[in-house]
Chains A and B, each alone.
Chain A
Amino acid sequence: MRETIRNAPLYAAMIGVPVLMMAELLSSLFYPPASAILVPLIIIGLFVFGFSAMREVYPKHAISIGTPYYFNGITKTTVEKKEPSVMKKNAKEVKLKLVRFNPSSKRMEANIYTIAVDRFTTVLDALLHIKEKEDSTLSMRYSCRMGICGSCGVVVNGKPCLACETNVLNSTGLSGIEVSPMHGNPLLKDLVNDFDDFFRRHIAVKPQLFREDKVAQYVADAEYPQTQKQVEAFLPYSYCIMCGLCLDACPVVNTNPDFIGPQALSQAQRYLADSRDQLGTERIKLVDSMEGIWGCEFAGSCSKVCPKGVDPATAIQLLKSEAVDRAIKYK
């Protein structure tokens, strides 16, 4: 019944607009002056119809203002009324908006929680607090909580970051803090992405040390000598924790999924720059294509979001210059 009342303008317009249009048609034939009154009425009717229809699709449209464009599909926003349970002394109350994917309806939903935080609380702490105290159905990935396992990539206030490394108070603005899932990969549930595609990209660049001496590699009687300088050549690219944030931030891979993306390319550079690796030009050939290094448009967003300072953007430019060098040499 309440549905019917709420949607009354919609039904009125659905019936009213065709009736008025028919009347307009008839009156213009038999009594022209009447159409001057009917035309504005039809226009008003069409507006009512449009607004009501929009409300059907975005019921709480006002709340999703300010969310990134890819979350236009939020269908349900609930505000948790529960009193915040105080976590520690000196706590402050913060409004946390949690955007999550519902796997059964295949829609995005948003919940707003009021939680108590102190100056140490990270986004992961806040999410765990919600999971353990308010809504145990919430799912997210997490493990080490010290920024090294790469599990807890989320989007906070529109920026991809690690939940365990992001302080809640530092990221809270006037309207609170918003946590949503990464959008570069398909979603499984709530904040959990499907990483299969991400892993396939990584595997495609053959991320292993290739050696001619296969047996000696495993027997390992003596080390392959390497100076500290040679170590430093590949070290910056070896810090990748495979969290997927760079892929999430990359504008190219998000518009052209065929582009292999910054994570895989930075790993190609990591093994190419390692003096112990013997795959050589073969390694460059793996990425020497439009889907590989030449697809990069150097927006640099990958390097901006990387929580470990890997700088894939530079890695890709180094690969490009290496590819050109080798092409000239071997022609």
Chain B
Amino acid sequence: MEVLDYDILVLGSGIAGLTSAIHASKLLGGSGKIAIISKLHLMRSHSIAAEGGISGVLYPSENGDTFDLHAYDTIKGSDYLADQDAVESLVASAPKEIRFFEHLGVPWSREPDGKITSRAFGGMSMKRTAFAADKTGFFMMRALYDTVLGLSNVERFHEHFATSLFVKNNKFIGLTCVDLATGAVKLFKGKTCIIATGGYSRTYGFTTTSHSATGDGTALAWEAGLPLKDMEFVQFHPTALVPNGILITEAARGEGGLLKNADDERFMQRYAPSVMELAPRDIVSRAIMTEISEGRGITQEGSGIEHVYLDLTQLGEEKLDEKLPMIKEMTIKSLGLDPSKEKIPVRPATHFTMGGIHTDIEGRVFSHDRKNRIENLWAAGECGCVSIHGANRLGSNSLSECAVWGRATGMAAAKYARVHEHGYSIGAKAMAALEEKRLERLTDRGKGNDPYAIRERLQSLMEEHMFVFRSKAGMEKARVGIARLKLQAKDVRIVDKGKVFNTNLRDALEIKNLLDLAAVSVKCAIERHESRGAHSRTDYKSRDDKRWLKHTIARKSRTGIDISYLPVVITKWQPKPREY
């Protein structure tokens, strides 16, 4: 088996991963080597699909916007579950990160005087979302990838699928990967590791995310016994294109798009009269689902999916071409529908997972005992949960999170790697050999269950019972169903016996990850007896700050899933009723 040794391993190549690699590379200089490992080509990670923009108060003195106001909006949006110290650090660093991306080459849309311009976003009381048309994530990813190409101490491992993470005595030792091109199992040893593998929205079928958003890093951490936080909170984006779930950015509403039901009524006036379409995503999603369930939706011909309309016709062709070119391109290409002339069919779809690996404010991962930290392991971006988003993320805060914690974790890892020697890793080789055997056995098995059928059932269970509105009975059904699927997945059949680019094996491993994460998510959701942010229960309809103003921490135990709770950090803003 090939054994590779690096100072810093970056697992995942989205905006968080690449940012951390760049900053670590600068700090390490010639004294250390960094490996970026991705299951895709590095520049194709799901961050590339981010559309609307990145939040940050760029010019505080000019329009009366302040860091505190940004923080308050974020905390109110999170339904007061966000850790307020983390939010303060986010809003303070975000503007600098936007400028940093500008320095790497991102073509931010500009004001006539050369300043970076901003647009309105849901839940934000000021215009503070910088953007590059509606391809913000794409431009950030390309700038990052191109910058990484120029760094001599960074090595790139395209299409390496991580299969296990080795943590021993509260220290990260290494990880194993399958090189998809050859099928070889490799052991990566590292002084430090940054996990940046994104969310697990593919536990649902109707989702805005890439096929690759399967939360692999989060699942590996879970498998290694590390605690996960707030896994019940899954964001549903209100406007996904019907029938394929492609994201129609919130910026479409920020630029003046209207939501309408079958009666051509702007129904948001009944749900959030002061901000209308620009309410936070959980509120808009609930509004749309209510409209549909009360019979004011429209059924799409062909797919049979019920939806409402997003009306962009009043924006005019010129504004669409300038501000939302990709929306236009995609609706034309996938539905043959011109948004400047017709209304777009939309409905809520899974978009973001607020929960993830339990980390402290610097992004350092907590160990199994929930008190100590793993000193050389960090998590950044959607896969981690510093807890900025709480129970519901505000649009455009995710890119800021990736940028801010990308830099923070990269710098921290580089500082650690500079002063520490390679630790003992005698066990790593033996564990990797076992892992190689396990994968071999998995591939060689002659008969078993079809992994794709398992995934299909998982996705329909999650969509039926863990969607916008949840109930005890439904979630119990999901829990039992997923437990059954997990049993089936133990005996899964890989039809492809080849070594070269075996995506059948990769899919089976991904599906196992999805099942693990879905089970944790359902369990946490059942235990939380209240409605907060994106977690909305029909049997506990209101928020209960007395009992539930706390984070859920889940960890693997011998009997299954062990749940405990952690208080929320509150600095300046006491919880208040959340009204828009």
**Residues of A in contact with B (beta carbons under 8 Å apart):** 88-90, 103-104, 118-120, 122, 131-133, 135-151, 165, 167, 188-190, 192, 194-195, 202-203, 206-209, 211, 216-218, 220-228, 231, 234-235, 238-242, 271, 274, 276-277
Contacts and interface: CB of A to CB of B under 8 A. Distances in A.
A151 B302 contact: no
B103 A217 contact: yes
A148 B142 CA distance: 11
B112 A145 contact: no
Contact of A223 (B116, B335, B495): B116
Interface string B30-71: 000000000011011110110000000000000000000000
B354 to A, nearest CB: 21
Contact of B302 (A119, A209, A211): A119
Interface string B89-114: 00000001101101111011111111
A122 B334 contact: yes
Contacts of A239: 135
Most B C-beta atoms less than 10 A away, residue of A141, A146, A224, A276: A146
A192 B99 CA distance: 38
A239 B325 CA distance: 12
Contact of B135 (A148, A228, A274): A148
A227 B107 contact: no
Nearest to B242: A120
Given A120-B303, A207-B149, A234 B107 contact: yes
A227 B210 contact: no
B114 A227 contact: yes
A5 B102 CA distance: 72
Contact of B496 (A119, A137, A206, A207): A137
B275 interface: no
Interface stretch (B167-175, B431-439, B501-509, B554-562): B501-509
Given A145-B211, A227-B112, A227-B114, A136 B103 contact: no
A143 B211 contact: yes
B210 A144 contact: yes
Contacts of A122: 334
Contact of A147 (B139, B330, B494): B330
A137 B452 CA distance: 13
B444 interface: no
B74 to A, nearest CB: 22
B135 A220 contact: no
B107 A149 contact: no
A274 B105 contact: yes
Contacts of A144: 44, 46, 48-49, 210-211
A328 B138 CA distance: 37
Nearest to B156: A199
B304 A89 contact: yes
Contact of A221 (B96, B301, B334): B96
A220 B302 contact: no
A223 B44 contact: no
Contacts of B46: 143-144, 149
B246 interface: yes
Contacts of B425: none
Contacts of B44: 143-144, 149-151
Given A144-B49, A220-B99, A132 B452 contact: yes
A144 B158 CA distance: 17
A143 B450 CA distance: 21
A189 B497 CA distance: 13
A223 B326 contact: no
A209 B105 contact: yes
B99 to A, nearest CB: 4
Contacts of A222: 99
Contacts of A216: 103
A149 B210 contact: yes
15 contacts: A103-B500, A120-B244, A136-B450, A136-B495, A144-B49, A144-B210, A146-B246, A149-B40, A151-B44, A189-B501, A209-B104, A220-B102, A231-B108, A238-B139, A276-B105
B532 to A, nearest CB: 31
Contacts of B301: 90
Contact of A228 (B96, B110, B494): B110
B576 interface: no
Contact of A208 (B40, B149, B158, B211): B149
Contact of A150 (B43, B116, B333): B43
Nearest to A309: B329
B147 interface: yes
Given A139-B502, A223-B103, 11 more contacts: A88-B302, A90-B302, A118-B302, A119-B302, A136-B496, A145-B244, A146-B247, A149-B44, A218-B23, A228-B110, A228-B111
Q: Most A CB atoms within 10 A — which of B99, B109, B142, B503?
A: B503
Contacts of A274: 105
B26 interface: yes
B577 interface: no
A152 B542 CA distance: 45
B155 to A, nearest CB: 13
A203 B142 CA distance: 13
Contacts of A151: 40-41, 44
Contacts of A206: 150
Nearest to A241: B138
Contacts of B110: 226-228, 231
Nearest to B26: A218
Contacts of A138: 503
Contact of B96 (A136, A220, A276): A220
Given A148-B135, A207-B149, A143 B100 contact: no
B115 interface: yes
B326 A148 contact: yes
Nearest to B114: A225
A137 B498 CA distance: 8
B497 to A, nearest CB: 8
A226 B99 contact: no
B100 A189 contact: no
B243 interface: yes
B103 A209 contact: yes
Nearest to A146: B246
Interface in B335-359: 335
Contact of A136 (B116, B150, B504): B504
A145 B210 contact: yes
Contacts of B26: 218
Nearest to A151: B44
B527 interface: no
A93 B334 CA distance: 19
Nearest to B455: A132
Contacts of B104: 209, 217
B146 interface: yes
B245 to A, nearest CB: 9
A136 B326 CA distance: 33
B181 interface: yes
B163 interface: no
Between A122, A223, A276, the greatest number of chain B beta carbons within 10 A of the residue's beta carbon is seen for A223
A159 to B, nearest CB: 15
A104 B256 CA distance: 56
A317 B139 CA distance: 24
Nearest to B101: A220
A118 B105 contact: no
Nearest to B50: A148
Contacts of A143: 40, 44, 46, 210-212
Contacts of A209: 103-105, 143, 146-147
Contacts of A192: 501
A165 B41 CA distance: 19
Nearest to A135: B495
Contacts of B244: 120, 145
A217 B96 CA distance: 11
A148 B43 CA distance: 10
Nearest to B99: A220
Contacts of B114: 225-227
